[in-house]
Structure 1
Amino acid sequence: MDKIRERINDFCSMTIKLVYIQLLWLTFTLLGVVIIGIGPATYAMFTVMRQWIRGNKEISIFKTFFHSFRSEFKESFFFGIIYLVGGIILFVDLIYVQSPLLKGFLIIISFLYTVSLLYIYPILVHYEWQSMIQKLKCSILFGLSYLQYTLMLIVALAVVYFVLFMYPGVLTFFGISIGSYMIMFMANQVFKRIEMEAGVNKGVQLNEPLIKGGDQA
């Protein structure tokens, strides 16, 4: 009985946290007039998700969110603009391009874009690589190298959002935060596989400073 009560409490606590982080994301995105705020707000949200997934569940959500939003503003803004503009261009092209050959090419590019989009923010909050090109390259490389994880993530997101769209009220409170949690969870599985295979588990690092925050759990 105590275990059931504890699980219910954990579920309710996590639900409240997901609502709170979504409200923070929405607030800071709007404060940045969307275009300026969406990248840094998304980075900050993924920072919080990473801490939760790696066992640091008692962190101050607002303090962690605000610090990440402010400290990594420039880079996260840059990536936010790249993916926002790139996504709009691809969307418009897919609608208006009539050539089957060109449309097929755009579908391939759109898939690579989706893979990169899924992994870029987890990479930004997890690794300390200095090169932006390396981060972009690895966002695709990781997703394709561990394609089974990527496909499972895409299917899981599709199922969850199919259900959420049937309940718009729930989507309003969880639509972004639950998706980011799922993405960070799966990306963390990929990172652990990569770190194990590269011999960086338990504190052994590669040539570059690899893992942010020193928490390699």
Structure 2
Amino acid sequence: MTHYLYKITVWISRLAILNLLWLGFSLLGLIVFGFFPATVAMFAVLRSWLRGEDDRPIFQTYWRAYKAEFLAANGYGILISILGFIVYLNLIFMSVNQSGSMLLLHIPLYTFLIFSALTLLYLFPTYVHYDLGFFQIIKQAFLIMMIQPIQTVMMIAGIAASAVVMYYIPGLSFFFGGSFIALLIMATCYHSFQTIEKKQQSRST
């Protein structure tokens, strides 16, 4: 029992430190240029922990990933921001044009929004796990999202439950708002990655 309590305490302290690093390095890049590299670095650290590599210094591991992925992460940030802005403009346009033909455009737009949001959940874990090209990462994230619907539902449920708890206990957000939700996403995705890799290995043998 004492051993498990110790492990829980260690995880809590690590997640708190990781969240503070995420906030600090997001601000270091003035948020605009810091958020995406800081988020990638956070997922990189979480992946190393899930792989059992929890003896590495947190700051050095985080800083190394932040520097190495700064440009590529901001590349995804620019792409996501452009797509988000285009969707936002379309939503505004459709809100002021309520004709029958415009209403028909709601279905494909909302479908695109849903699948884009779900793909985004897998994007950062896929990026830190696979060594693929820029657009191949997006394609891989989309495909994994499509073939793992149960894991996706579990992920969304976990995020929603965490958001509710942090809404009623706002102080938790400062220490765990990013890192704990990222852990839920990374752990779910990592399980999906392992499942897919095991299936591929069994087919090749």
Give the distance between the partners of 2:8 and 2:106, measured in 1 at CA.
44
Give the distance between the partners of 2:31 and 2:171, measured in 1 at CA.
22
Q: Which residue, 114, 117, 123 being the options, matches 1:111? A: 114
Aligned to 1:125: 128
Report whether the alignment pairs 1:100 with 2:103. Answer: yes
Q: Which residue, 63, 78, 83 being the options, matches 2:80? A: 83
Aligned to 1:208: none
Q: Larger RCO: Structure 1 or Structure 2 (Cα < 8 Å, ≥ 6 residues apart)? A: 2
Give me the CA root mean square deviation. 2.0
Matched ranges for 1:1-217 at <5 A: 3=1, 5-91=2-88, 93-94=90-91, 97-98=94-95, 99-129=102-132, 131-199=133-201
TM-score w.r.t. structure 1 length? 0.84
Pairwise CA distance, 1:134: 1.0
Pairwise CA distance, 1:52: 0.9
Pairwise CA distance, 1:65: 0.3
Give the distance between the partners of 1:104 and 1:46, measured in 2 at CA.
33
Amino acid at match of 1:43: V
Pairwise CA distance, 1:28: 0.8
**Structure 2 CA distance for partners of 1:74 and 1:173, relative to 1, 3 Å:** same
CA-to-aligned-CA distance 1:84-137 (integer Å, 9 cap, x gap): 4433543564466334322222221111111111111111111111x2111111
Amino acid at match of 1:33: L
Give the distance between the partners of 2:90 and 2:109, measured in 1 at CA.
8
Q: The residue matched to 1:199 in structure 2 has which SS?
A: helix
Give the distance between the partners of 1:171 and 1:70, measured in 2 at CA.
26
Amino acid at match of 2:182: S
Q: Can you give the 5+ residue segments of structure 2 that lack an aligned partner in the other structure? A: 96-101
Q: Which runs of 4+ in 1 moved over 3 A?
A: 87-96
Amino acid at match of 1:128: D
Asked if 2 retains the 8 angstrom alpha-carbon contact of 1:35 and 1:81, the reply is no
Aligned residue pairs total 198
Which structure is higher in helix share? 2
Q: Can you give the 5+ residue segments of structure 1 that lack an aligned partner in the other structure? A: 205-217
**Structure 2 CA distance for partners of 1:50 and 1:96, relative to 1, 3 Å:** same
